[in-house]
Structure 1
C-alpha cells in the first residue's frame, strides 16, 4: 500500500487508542483524533457498525478468531472508514489481522466474503454514520459490558465513559439494523459494496491507485 500522507491518517496502529471488546469506543477515539489532527478530513470519515437482527455476524481475519481463517461470530463490530475519493476508500480496523489500514475491496473480500453461503440470520448489515455525527451523538455508560452482579465482562477503558449532552447510553440505536431507525444509513453487504467500492474502470478517466 502507498504511504501517501493523503491516504494514511494513522501511519501506526500504536498511535490509536485501543481497548479489547470496546470497538465502538476505539472508533470514537479515532474520529476524535482526526478532528484534532486532520480536521479537513473529518467530513470524509465514517463509523461503520456491522450487525443484524439476530446479532450473529461472522467475520474473518479477526484477531479474536479461530482457525487458519481467524473467523469469529460477533454480536456487532465497528470499524473506521476514510473515503476521500473514488478508488481511495480505506478501512481502519483495530481488530483485524489485515494491514492497518486496508483498502476497502481487500478488507470486505477477506473479512465478510459473501452472504450467499450464509444462512439469512447471519447476513451482515452496515450502519454508516458520518464521523462528525458519531462524535456528537454517540453515548455509552458501558452497561452492556457488565454482568448481572455489575462486575465487568471485560475491563473498561481507563478514560470516563463517552456521553453526549442528550443521552447517557444509546449504543443500541447504533447497533440496530432497521432502516429508518437510528443515525446514519443502513446497507446490506451488496449495497455497502456498491456504494463505497469504485473500481478503477468506473472512474471518469480510468486512472487510479493500484491496491
Structure 2
C-alpha cells in the first residue's frame, strides 16, 4: 500500500488544495473507491488558530513539532472493515500513508497535556461532498498589500460545482460549541450528508472511524 509522497502534487502551505487533489488521485488510480466514498477530509484547527502537530516536515525541530493555524489530511476507511484506517498526510514525516492509531499517538499526542488554547478540533467532511463543494481563490494567502505570503500552486484555483469561488474559511472555523457531544448515528449522518460535515474533538477521532461502516 505504501506510496511515494512524490507521486502527489504538493504545494507548501496549501494543504487544503493538496488534499483535494490527493483525494481525486486516490479515486482515479484505484487506491480508493471511484466515488471517494471511503475517503474523509479532516480539517484540524481551533478558535485561536493555533494547533500543535508533531512529525511535520516544515518543522526545524527534532521532534517535528509545528504550530499550524490549521491543517488538512485525508483519512481512508476501507469498507471491508478489516483494514486499518489510513491517514494520508503529505506534510508528515511518518510513513505514507500511516495507520490511524499510530498517527494519532505520534502526531496528535492526545496524552500530552496541552493548554486549553491549543486543544484541537477536527472537522470531518465526506470526500465526495468536499470534492463537489470546496472552493478556494487563495485570498487567505495574500497580505494586506495583495502580495502572496507563500507562492500559490501553478494550476487554476478550485471552483465548486455550485460556482462558489471561496469557502475555505467555513471549513476552518471551529469553536468548542461546534464539537459533537457524542459519536453516534446523528454525527455519522451529518458527516455523510452535510456540506461542512461535523466537528469532533481529538478524543473522538478514532471512535468515529471505528463506528462508520
TM-score, structure 1 length as denominator?
Answer: 0.84
Q: CA offset at residue 40 of structure 1?
A: 2.5
Aligned-pair Cα RMSD in Å: 1.9
Q: CA offset at residue 131 of structure 1?
A: 0.8
Please name the residue that 2:91 is paired with: 95
Runs of 4+ in 1 over 3 A off after TM superposition: none
2:55 is the counterpart of 1:61:
yes
State the secondary structure of the residue aligned to 1:177. coil
The count of residues paired between Structure 1 and Structure 2 equals: 190
Query: Contact (CA 8 Å) 1:27, 1:79: kept in 2 or not?
Result: yes
State the secondary structure of the residue aligned to 1:79. strand
Counterparts of 1:27-46 in structure 2, within 5 Å, are: 27-38=19-30, 40=33, 42-46=36-40
Matches of 1:187 and 1:174, distance apart in 2: 13
Task: Identify the match of residue 185 of structure 1 among 187, 193, 198.
Answer: 198
Please name the residue that 2:43 is paired with: 49
Query: Contact (CA 8 Å) 2:104, 2:110: kept in 1 or not?
Result: no
Counterparts of 1:14-163 in structure 2, within 5 Å, are: 14-38=6-30, 40=33, 42-84=36-78, 85-114=81-110, 117-163=113-159
TM-score, structure 2 length as denominator?
Answer: 0.83
Task: Identify the match of residue 167 of structure 2 among 166, 170, 173.
Answer: 170
- Unpaired runs of 5+ residues, structure 1, are 199-211
Matches of 1:31 and 1:87, distance apart in 2: 18
Matches of 1:187 and 1:146, distance apart in 2: 30
In 2 relative to 1, CA 87–109 (structure 1 residues): closer, same or farther, beyond 3 Å?
A: farther
Q: CA offset at residue 158 of structure 1?
A: 0.5
State the secondary structure of the residue aligned to 1:109. helix
- Unpaired runs of 5+ residues, structure 2, are 180-193
Please name the residue that 2:186 is paired with: none
Query: Contact (CA 8 Å) 1:86, 1:197: kept in 2 or not?
Result: no
Matches of 2:203 and 2:33, distance apart in 1: 29
Q: CA offset at residue 174 of structure 1?
A: 0.7
